[in-house]
Amino acid sequence: MNLRHVFGIALLAFIAGLPAQAQELPQAVTAKREMVVTANPLATAAAAKILRRGGTAADAMIAAQTVLGLVEPQSSGLGGGAFVVYYNAWSGNTITVDGREKAPASATEDRFQGLGFFDAWQSGLSVGVPGTPRLMEYMHRHFGILSWRKLFRPAARLAKRGFPLTQRTSDQVAGLLARNPDCDNRLFFRDPTAFEYFANPDCTAKAAGTIITNPDYAKTLQRLARHGADAFYFGEIADNIAAAVQKDPAIGGDMTAQDLANYEVVERAPVCLNYRGHDVCGMGPPSSGALAVGQILGVLENFDLGAGAPLDVDTVHLFTQAGRLAFADRGRYVADSDFVTVPVEGMLDKNYLASRAALITDMDLGRVEPGEPPGEFDPLAPHNRSKDSGTSHISIIDRYGNSLSMTTTIESSFGNGVMVNGFLLNNELTDFSFAATDSTGMAIANRVEANKRPRSSMSPTIVFDPHGRVEIVTGSPGGSRIIGYTAQSIINLVDFGLDPQEAINVPHYMNRNGLTSDLETPIPGVTLDYDADALAAALTTRGHNVNIRTQTSGLSVIQVKRKRPRKWHHHYYYDDGDDGYHRHWWWRPRKVLIGGADKRRDGTVGGR
């Protein structure tokens, strides 16, 4: 380790330990060629370096994800899953890739019967078969151009040489340790390996700025670099995962090495809705993201939001009511479409959404019932539970115009709390309904079934302008609140003309068809300052029960602004079926990439 590296680590450690100071609101970052936004500066730097070397958005994502799994382990990693929305500039196609975790082949409907959430979360029963390593390989195989091995080097180096623990990670460790009755009787960080990695012997969290190394993670990355994702799904790592699940110190699970060997990602068609001339495309079932975001926007399209402002009482009221309607349908209809019939087209039908919008008045609707969208669907009961979870988001546009929106997760903070080969396992299966039927005996769509993927709220989204060109790449972590965060980022850009950072700085508001409409507590230097009490009072006169609370979004937003080209350009291409070489003339697009990162977390923008 040279002197420059030692100084760099010391500087990062010092910064990580500094207290937050009052400051001006963050400003948008601009670039001309390429851009990446992630929830951590080290991950952003790793991905930006790959882009500078000519890598695609898919290449850069792998570098970002492997670093995030190391420096932000409470949110995502190799032991979790992800959804990707990808625009391929060379073919003009948009796809979504489903890397969601799956239930083991032996899973049954009564999996969580009699268990509370905490006991289910901190157990081997909660672990789904991870999808992230296979998804990374799939994206590289289809859309990458740089060497697979090189993409793992930034994370492997950090794991060997060390990195400073962030304040956010330290605080979350402390919060979970505080839930234990005492240090000897731990449910949280019950795994000795994870405890030693994140905590001190006296059961306190390691302080922000502590230099952390993870040689086991470096070895895992080296195996993936040499042998591909098979190194994760077969052999020693797969055996270790299965053993850790089955021998969980709290409650053992039933995942086997064969479950890992059988895992595959699925490429699916995107789910899109046209909103005021912009095609908004995202991930369909098993995610509720594109459907719920699309329904919120489709309902709001029946109102003139642009006449107001983001924090006007009318805007907030309409957004909360649209959220109620969307979450009502989400609870009843959305689950893994490989197991249930989801009325995707019907839920986004313009006439259906107009009829739902007609239910909105000047007063809060209260808890609403799901509608009956056109199309086929199974007669199933709702699963309305909404909770907050630990997740991360990556947005990338490369020099070629390829665009990637990826939301990645291990579910709740630090997954199920068990560490294997340097990474944490997920607790994704707690996204299933704990009950198989409702009180009438009707089956719940999102019940546990063998090899099924649990319903998700992750909402990676790409928005296209009226000419069909990529205009916005957005998405956020935040559990079921992801849907509101993502939809709000879109209306802030499309309806109110804000830039990405301004859109992120607007305080959040939403209603997930629950008892309360939530307003965000303003954060100095992070969000716009506003009179939350006055807005709450105005909403109360409209029948809302208002809760002012902290909301931990992690939006990563890139917007493309295009300018008129200055001159014609041309290139030659060869066509063997015709008469040889041809010269093709075109206007080279002049564009500016504008990026925003959420300072509610540790988000940063990189680009040039």
Instruction: List residues with catalytic annotation.
Output: 391
Measured CA angle at 19 (ends 14, 24), to 5 deg: 110
How long, in residues, is the chain? Answer: 608
Tell me the two tokens of residue 27.
């400003």
Amino acid identity at 430: T
Task: Determine contact, residues 420/302, Cβ cutoff 8 Å.
Answer: no
Helix axes 313-333, 532-540, angle to 10 degrees: 70
Residue in 414, 409, 385 with CA at minimum distance from that of residue 186: 414
- Tell me the CA distances in angstroms from 348 to 33, 317, 340, 377, 554, one per residue in order: 35, 21, 18, 14, 26
> What amino acid occupies position 600?
R
3-state secondary structure (DSSP) of residue 304: coil
Cα separation, 58 vs 394, whole angstroms: 11
Strands 517-520 and 546-549: parallel
Interatomic CA distance for residues 425 and 419, integer angstroms: 6
Cα gap 310→504, rounded to integer Å: 11
For residue 315, give both structure tokens: 């805007």
Distance CA 547, CA 514 (A): 11
**One-letter identity of residue 244:** A
Pairing of strands 461-464, 278-282: antiparallel
Task: Give the number of C-alpha atoms closer than 13 A to the C-alpha of residue 7, restricted to the C-beta side.
Answer: 3
Decide: residue 567, CB within 10 A, 0-12 exposed, 13-18 middle, 19+ buried: exposed
Burial class (CB in 10 A: 0-12, 13-18, 19+), 229: buried
Residue 343: asked if its preceding bond is cis (omega within 30°), the reply is no
A 10 A CB-CB count for 604 gives: 23
Residue 573, beta-bridge partner list: 582
- Residue 37's H or E segment, with its range, is strand 35-38
